[in-house]
């Protein structure tokens, strides 16, 4: 028996009372018309469905220990007789505030690789028969691309260029951790996408500050990375000052994308807490609302006036006819009952 639209809907919504008709837009558990816009914006209020801000990220990595002035000299890469000053550049750039807490702040943008497979259609190509898709292989990794800001101490030419040269001499092979060349010319790179977690404003030192910071929403781990090329750079006498960004592609052996469960748990806990606080504050506002108090006072005043009018007519305190009682009730209206 072919499935109907209603039976398909029940697979997703459940066996609750549904009203589904091709003639209208009613398709909800309550039988009310669908409200896609309100439903969409309501869903966005949860942290899980918040729009991700692509500008909140950081990248963490270290230069391999084998990248030194001594190693550059040992592989014959000091033709001018002067060191590249790799060691001095490492000390200048790989300390706070350029690294560690906020990652590499000289890194200006990161391009993460995609994922794909190769496939082809295999089968009988005859009459109305259609070949079936067959997966042949997984595509090779595309490079991880990081753009670095060109500064007075150039991270590209003082550290990454020597790193690329040393990697070309040593090759991408495992090292035992001992001997003349104990370490490979590879490192791990971490790209962390961050997210806001709401606001909790307090006054501190005369300023209003948010006690909540950023939490990781997605973490990329790239293992055994090394730079595969260094782009060229040109110099002109143009007076138009532009920021120079150097794109460096990195090869890697493996990678993984991780969504921290701790961030999901924290966001859900904070959302539940904020919702409870919002409900309590709303209740307090209703109780203290001038409009609400004014409305109650107006009703009390009207009820008192109706009772006073009824007393002046002699309708309160003695038995009256039904007509007189109706007149008194009409005078009181909805403001209050006659006592």
* Residue 1: how many other CB atoms lie within 10 Å: 4
Does 92 lie in the same domain as 67? Answer: yes
178 and 131 housed in the same domain: yes
Q: Are residues 111 and 164 in the same domain?
A: yes
Specify whether 250 is located in the same domain as 321. Answer: no
Find the domain containing 39 and state its range: 5-49
324 lies in some domain: yes
**Does residue 297 sit in the same domain as residue 179?**
no
Q: How many domains does the chain have?
A: 3
Indicate whether 171 belongs to any domain.
Answer: yes
Query: Does a structural domain hold residue 202?
Result: no
> Cis omega before residue 97 (within 30°)?
yes
CA distances from 90 to 72, 160, 224 (A): 14, 10, 20
Are 151 and 178 in the same domain?
Answer: yes
Count CB neighbours of 167 within 10 A: 20
The pLDDT value recorded for residue 291 is 55
Strands (E) across 80-206 are located at: 107-111, 117-122, 132-138, 144-149, 187-196, 201-204
CATH code for the domain of 136:
2.30.110
Q: What is the pTM of this model?
A: 0.70
- Asked if the structure places residue 162 within a domain, the reply is yes
Residues 26 and 136 in one domain: no
pLDDT at 24: 45
Asked if the structure places residue 267 within a domain, the reply is no
Per-residue tokens: 19? 């009203």
| Residues 190, 77 share a domain | yes
Residues 248 and 121 in one domain: yes
99 & 230 share domain? yes
Question: Do residue 38 and residue 146 come from a single domain?
Answer: no
Residue 89 lies in a domain: yes
Is residue 104 located within the same domain as residue 120? yes
Last residue of a domain, one of 15, 30, 49: 49
| Neighbouring C-beta atoms of residue 64, cutoff 10 Å | 19
**Structural domain includes residue 207:** no
The answer as to whether 113 is a domain residue is yes
- 10-residue averages of pLDDT along the chain (339 residues): 58 52 49 72 83 90 92 92 93 82 85 94 84 93 95 94 94 73 86 88 84 89 96 83 90 95 89 75 65 54 52 44 45 39
């Amino acid at each position: 028996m072919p499935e109907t639209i209603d039976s398909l809907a029940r697979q997703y919504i459940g066996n609750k009372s549904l009203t589904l008709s091709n003639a209208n837009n009613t398709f909800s558990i309550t039988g009310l018309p669908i409200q896609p816009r309100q439903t969409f914006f309501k869903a966005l209020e949860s942290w899980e469905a918040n729009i991700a801000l692509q500008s909140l990220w950081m990248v963490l990595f270290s230069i391999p220990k084998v990248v030194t002035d001594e190693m550059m000299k040992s592989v014959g890469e000091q033709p001018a007789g002067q060191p590249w000053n790799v060691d001095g550049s490492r000390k200048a750039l790989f300390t706070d505030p350029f690294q560690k807490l906020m990652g590499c702040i000289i890194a200006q943008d990161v391009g993460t690789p995609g994922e794909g497979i190769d496939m082809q259609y295999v089968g009988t190509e005859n009459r109305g028969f259609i070949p079936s898709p067959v997966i042949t292989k997984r595509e090779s990794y595309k490079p991880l691309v990081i753009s670095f800001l060109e500064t007075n101490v150039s991270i590209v030419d003082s550290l990454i260029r020597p790193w690329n040269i040393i990697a070309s001499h040593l090759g991408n092979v495992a090292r035992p951790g001992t001997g003349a060349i104990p370490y490979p010319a590879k490192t791990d790179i971490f790209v962390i996408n961050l997210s806001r977690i709401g606001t909790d404003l307090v006054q501190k030192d005369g300023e209003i500050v948010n006690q909540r910071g950023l939490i990781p929403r997605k973490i990329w781990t790239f293992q055994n990375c090394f730079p595969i090329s260094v782009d060229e750079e040109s110099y002109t006498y143009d007076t138009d000052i532009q920021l120079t960004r150097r794109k460096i592609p990195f090869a890697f052996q493996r990678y993984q994308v991780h969504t921290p469960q701790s961030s999901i748990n924290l966001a859900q806990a904070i959302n539940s807490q904020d919702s409870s606080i919002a409900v309590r504050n709303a209740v307090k506002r209703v109780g203290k609302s001038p409009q609400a108090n004014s409305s109650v006072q107006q009703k009390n005043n009207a009820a008192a006036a109706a009772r006073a009018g009824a007393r002046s007519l002699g309708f309160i305190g003695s038995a009256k006819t039904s007509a007189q009682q109706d007149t008194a009730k009409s005078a009181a209206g909805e403001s209050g009952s006659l006592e």
